[in-house]
Amino acid sequence: MTKIYIDAGHGGSDPGAVGNGLREKDLTLMIAKHTQDYLKGYNCSVKMSRTNDKTLSLAQRTNDANKWGADFFLSVHINAGGGTGYEDFIYNGVSNTSKSAKLRNTIHSEISKVLTKYSITNRGKKKANFHVLRETKMPAVLTENLFIDRREDANLLKDDKFLKDIGQAHAKGIVKAFKLKGGSGSTSTSKPSKPKQSKTSKSNNKQTSNYTGDSIVDYLKSIGQPSSFAHRKKLAQQHGIKNYTGTASQNTKLLNALRGNKTTATSVKNYIPRTFKVGQRVRIKSSAKTYSRSNVPIPSKYKNKSLTIQQVGKDDVLIKELYSWVRKSDTY
């Protein structure tokens, strides 16, 4: 049976690219799960690098796929850097007639149909020396699905229908490339049963969960509730979080509210500064884990201590005393 390994980029302490209230690690997991769900209707075995908000090194991902003996490695990512549209990559050490190239061509063709449907720029088929493409022992493709820091792209990335379409397009390309047998993945896969308490009442919003991470998407799934943007917006309205657009700070407020913490919309509003300026004094939260631009842990001795902002970034600030960048959401 054909073995398909799906790698949802980033995760855990590594959020990936951040912009317009979105985190790459959340989006890659949602797209990857749509790909996985579609493939359940076909005669293949699928393994995910992660199914929740988990930290994994690049080596852990490729080693896992190699050890499993995967026939194909797919790595899903979201782009950043001011551009727009979709592009995909294969290792720059393989030829245009390699199996990786042939598989990529088929997958790219299926994804192109979605790009046309949503009027998305097709940035083409490219090559790169990425770890997951270089260190895998099987054909591998890495996809970059729109730009998180471009508003028009981000609006699509907030659309659950688009995420499903792009995720399924990845799967359709795999089905076609490997000539997999079976029915339509979307119809032959049994639909998940609805949670007993499907109404978004405040009572079921406070269900207990063993999940301890900081992803609102994974938390909602852990208590049996939908994780779609539309559902989160309804919950935000119920908890007094106005004009919900899915920003990192809004998701933190909502997560705290659903967990029953005292950091409700009103208190959090006072807890996180609305604006950040050079020279402003802030403190790093006790819950902060790593610096925003590296995976280095923040020492406890610097937390809850008055510190000075030296520079202001889009989603983080440079702390003068540490000369390190800290996420805005990790300060108060």
293-312: buried (b, 16+ CB within 10 Å) or exposed (e) per residue? eeeeebeeebeeeebebeee
Ramachandran sector of residue 307 (left: φ over 0; alpha: ψ -120 to 50; beta: rest):
beta
Distance in angstroms (rounded) separating the CA atoms of residues 290 and 297: 4
**Would residue 144 show up in a list of annotated catalytic residues for this protein?**
yes
Burial category of 84 from C-beta neighbours within 10 Å (exposed 0-12, middle 13-18, buried 19 and up): middle
Report yes or no: 79 and 19 within 8 Å, Cβ to Cβ. no
Q: What DSSP element (H or E) covers 37? A: helix 24-39
Task: Collapse the DSSP code of 54 into the 3-class scheme (helix H, G, I; strand E, B; otherwise coil) and give the result.
Answer: coil
Choose, from 24, 144, 152, 321, the residue flagged as catalytic: 144
Of the candidates 205, 211, 208, the residue with the CA atom closest to the CA atom of residue 258: 205
Of the candidates 83, 126, 119, 81, the residue with the CA atom closest to the CA atom of residue 101: 126
- Sheet with 324-327, strands from edge to edge, namely 281-282, 307-312, 316-319, 324-327
Active site residues: 144
